[in-house]
Chains A and B, each alone.
Chain A
């Protein structure tokens, strides 16, 4: 019996040791990689990260008691326990049952208030306050690449943008492809890119760096390759980047745009030094007008 017990004890220690090793290895690994949702580099992503952490911590108020009760009852009232009470007729308690409508209720009430306020404060359509003037970028999701148009700078690029830090950036987003979702995890949450509709996203980068952007909604064969870079730079470097594009010999006219609609995968960065006027506007509204539709080839 004693031998058996000792063996069991050794087994528990081994399991504990194994778990510990896994935990240590996991934390070493995770501290070596970049987790953009928890290490945000922009105003909005930062607030969203706080929200995630807050909700997770508040939930612990329920989770911890649940785990403690579950395992302590499971141990205490196990079959064969000699000390535990047995009361087969106990089938409820008004006080307790009321309690667990109320306690989760209170937590949800707190979360509801947070939800209401944060839904308004972090509404992606809401322009951001800043002393710096906002930069506007129009985004069109194509098969399978991102076209970015700077309407006021009259330049465009494929799969890369440069934004000045500490400056509000306003994206207008649509699609001439199946639905995609525009997402730069380090800077802000995502929003859908839908054909015939224009959505908005406002964000602000606070740290200089190069951040990954991607499509978060399946759109066909080249979906996994629909990645782009967001270069967050100083305002001077941003201007230099724009000027560099201006040097490009390529221009985005309606006819080059129609060529661009042809599906292609894993597209390299590409610059256009000028953009046909109101291209984005036509892309969004062409479905509403047969005339526009004929002219610019949108008949889906």
Chain B
């Protein structure tokens, strides 16, 4: 009986179903949300619509929208994790132990970090890249539309795996980077770390493929006349970020593979015994991890560059220095990884080298900030929501940057490392830099994709909640760090004076949650008022780059005519010269929809899930299925449909008449 069960289900037994109330609630939510959605789709008879228009699409704009939807749902999911942590720490002093066990608390912070980085920040980033980059470079599509769909579905598979851990079994307790030996079999024998590994492994391969795809798109598919030094700065920043992706993500893949071997085949790469070394893992994971934070933030810098120029009605200040600053950051970001563990006990020379390299990155970052501020100089600044996000970003990011420079000094870092000061620092950088940037970008490009603007008033409420909430939530953490509070404490003695500060931080987190509620309300209300907020011009912000030259929402073929540009900020120039409707129609090929990206995603999901639970027959089977599907796709003909220039002209004219 036991053998049979093992062969069929591996180590998956009834015990995997959560037993405590809080986890059960979470599991129920994870199950009910998709079920509710499915019921709604069935009731509204929308399955076919969903399949034809979304699930099988190869249109980067639609794939971008799907990325952003999933990433937003994950923002709420990992945001709930954050609220749980705040509640635990606000109530868990002295005799009180809070409402979470130590083990549960550790799962919560591990899930929070993992999801926020891999499925929120990365999802928002790839979403925006999909929406904007082809349009901005005047291209009809990405270089490899099918591969783009595969990337999205691998991201989705990773996302499902990380959320399955809430329903079956447990998640990793080893933090978002799973340092060994805690993540090794000896200390984490269960499925938690395996869930973590496979969710990242699968999503990470998706990211790598996306990186290749968009680099080729940017290098090969720009409109005629747009040489590199005429590219919009957002596209430049994406090129920089994705160059980091293709160099950094293979390191992640290899590192995770080595950890998998340690856990499944008894190798000793990162154990203390058998010749292994845990610090090898720590080096490798940060050799990926440090570039990763720049992968996230560079496109956000790009967004701010577009936003500040558009809303100041002025060309970006110092375009060339901006481009150089991006590439300085790209190169330097591979030379600083050791600053994440100065406390390893490396020699003074090694620590000093990495400390100095870290500080040097502050120079190009500072250059970018000054250029943005001087873009406002002699401008006509309108404070629409994206501009508010920008202002909030500069204020918080500068303060977070100071904290970063302090910690770049190894001897100062010995005191601040792993403390809540560090936690406050990287949240300042990632929330104000990455999230504010993508929120600004989302508001800015929303009308281009959906054809109507978002409500400004609710957007501003959301911004102020985020800003005030952030300050209240994280200033106390800077202070707590100085008071000697380390990160990841599920409990602390009373009498240290921590509790009032944790309570303030909890209130701040609540205000941020209110900000998220305003964002949800903003989208809902704007959809309700979409006729009123309609963007009839295609250029609602009086913007500068090519995506604004076409009607909103952007048609599936992006650009009806073959254009040519001669300057940077090409659309602005066209408007100045009043030479808008240039170019000629031509025959085009559009990729046909394909369900195969989705199939690859789900076979990968099955493979990962089976590996987590040691259901070996299923992992074997899904691997064979995966390979067969790829071979089938590679041998498929007739994957594009033809649109003649006459038809394109008719489509274009009818679209413009609508607008």
Interface residues of A (CB under 8 A from B): 29-30, 32-38, 45, 47-49, 51-52, 55-56, 59, 62-63, 66-67, 69-70, 73-74, 77-79, 84-93, 96-97, 100-101, 104-105, 108, 111-112, 114-116, 118-126, 178-179, 181, 183, 185-186, 188-192, 194-197, 199-200, 212, 214-225, 227, 287, 293, 298-300
Contact = CB atoms under 8 A, between A and B. Distances in A.
A189 B378 contact: no
Nearest to B377: A73
Contacts of B378: 77, 84-87, 90
A200 B345 contact: yes
B91 to A, nearest CB: 14
Interface stretch (B116-124, B197-205, B479-487, B514-522): B479-487
Contacts of B345: 124-125, 191-192, 197, 199-200
Contacts of A218: 106, 173-175, 182, 487-488
A81 to B, nearest CB: 8
A38 B406 CA distance: 14
Given A63-B402, A116-B356, A194-B279, A34 B497 contact: yes
Contact of B181 (A87, A90, A178, A299): A178
Given A33-B497, A63-B399, A112-B359, A119 B411 contact: yes
Contacts of B373: 66, 69-70, 73
A181 B418 contact: yes
Given A66-B398, A111-B359, A97 B321 contact: yes
Interface size class of B (residues with CB under 8 A): 35 or more
A91 B408 contact: no
Interface of A is mostly: mixed
B271 to A, nearest CB: 6
Contacts of B186: 300
Interface of B: 102-103, 106, 173-175, 179, 181-182, 184, 186-187, 271-274, 277-279, 312-321, 341, 343-345, 347-349, 351-352, 355-356, 359-360, 362-363, 366-367, 369-371, 373-374, 376-383, 391, 394-395, 398-399, 401-402, 405-406, 408-419, 479, 481-484, 486-493, 496-497, 500
Nearest to A227: B493
Nearest to A219: B182
Contacts of A121: 411
Given A32-B497, A115-B352, A185-B415, A195 B318 contact: no
B459 to A, nearest CB: 17
Contacts, number: 297
Contacts of B374: 69, 73, 93, 96
B343 A62 contact: no
Given A124-B345, A189-B343, A190-B417, A116 B352 contact: yes
A74 B400 CA distance: 21
Given A63-B399, A78-B382, A122-B410, 19 more contacts: A33-B483, A35-B483, A37-B483, A48-B411, A56-B402, A59-B401, A77-B377, A78-B381, A88-B313, A108-B360, A119-B411, A181-B343, A181-B417, A189-B411, A190-B414, A190-B418, A192-B343, A192-B345, A224-B492
A32 B379 CA distance: 48
